[in-house]
Structure 1
């Protein structure tokens, strides 16, 4: 048996890019087919991410890419636990990141399956799925950022990633406060909060992919 090592950063890159590209692609397809209005959803708040994948061709694009993305995400979060072990940091994060990450990806899969279908059960499944996916993904990224702060080489990167996580948290807190203070204004802007939140957590995942590459994170295969 001969040992062969393969670089894994491309897997993290795919895990970050596929969801990000998918929501923008389905938005554009939905605009072309007349299902949503043309705007800049990050501040116009004209449509939710869910609505971009509910109708027409975008329905099939969304499900056909997000379900594989959820499966890829399972592997991505499990490997993040091994990566932290490889770096020798975050003993607790090594346990919690895979657990929370796998749960978030299962929630993403449930949300994707329920999207586009009517009924109380599907609506509940979709709402729980998106909340669990976004919140648990945020927690995973927060844990990884904190663990990297313990590493001599990646302390600076860890602190910067914590700043990004704090920005994500501020966006979430701002949406909650706005909903409490001015529900009408919140309902006019809640879609924009969703788009910004999704963008930030995927930017964090892209950052992790870059760190995987810089750290030379590899997987081992054995061939005859």
Structure 2
């Protein structure tokens, strides 16, 4: 069999991350609305519910966990493959795999009551976003130095990273200047939905970059 026939394109993997997470969060929210667990609104604008609360109850919770667990596995796989593709970046892959593990922990304990489980969910989210963001920055830095991705793709990734940083700063500022507790919660929920969208959107852009560069895997290597 020719070598090209054995090559497996990698771009569907980060694209699946984006699709699975988006479908899981929004489908769980719709199911929770139908079951009367949460209010209906446009969470990206009104912030009436967080992603966690939208997926905490009933069938929506089961669907969310069913889809996010393989999504966490895909996260880890993408970072391991990225490490081989870029031929280095030990810190990047460690950050990425820890982020993936935190997402799995968060999904596992979502909907389970208890102080310990709340702690695991809370810090699962923090570690997922924080370590995942740092891993993304490390990949962008290494890919730009080695011309591993098209310049335009790196630019798109940079804009997404800047937007995520801006949201993080805005969240901190809102927590300091907004006195009303319910208003503060709404702002935090809005920031969470947008941050989640941007985080998985970055993986969709990575999929575009891998497709354009024809990044593929063989049994023994990643090209």
Asked if these proteins are the same fold (TM beyond 0.5), I'd say yes
Determine if contact 2:153/2:206 at 8 Å carries over to the other structure.
no
2:176 match: 180
User: Structure 1 residue 2: deviation in Å?
Assistant: 7.3
2:52 match: 50
Correspondent of 2:7 among 5, 8, 21: 5
Correspondent of 1:74 among 46, 70, 76: 76
Determine if contact 2:9/2:211 at 8 Å carries over to the other structure.
yes
Determine if contact 1:145/1:161 at 8 Å carries over to the other structure.
yes
Distance 1:219 1:155, change over 3 A: same
1:134 match: 129
Correspondent of 1:125 among 120, 123, 136: 120
2:163 match: 167
2:193 & 2:97 partners in 1: Cα distance? 22
Segment drifting more, 2-11 vs 146-155:
146-155
1:183 & 1:143 partners in 2: Cα distance? 37
Distance 1:218 1:52, change over 3 A: same
User: Structure 1 residue 198: deviation in Å?
Assistant: 0.3
RMSD: 1.8
User: What does the per-residue CA deviation read over 1:52-86, in whole Å, with 9 as the maximum and x for residues that have no partner?
Assistant: 2111111110111111111121111111112223x
Residues 1-224 of structure 1 aligned to structure 2 (within 5 Å): 3=3, 4-85=6-87, 91=88, 94-152=89-147, 154-184=150-180, 185-221=183-219
- TM score, norm. by length of structure 1: 0.90
Segment drifting more, 1-10 vs 178-187:
1-10
**Structure 2, unpaired ranges of 5+:** none
1:103 & 1:195 partners in 2: Cα distance? 22
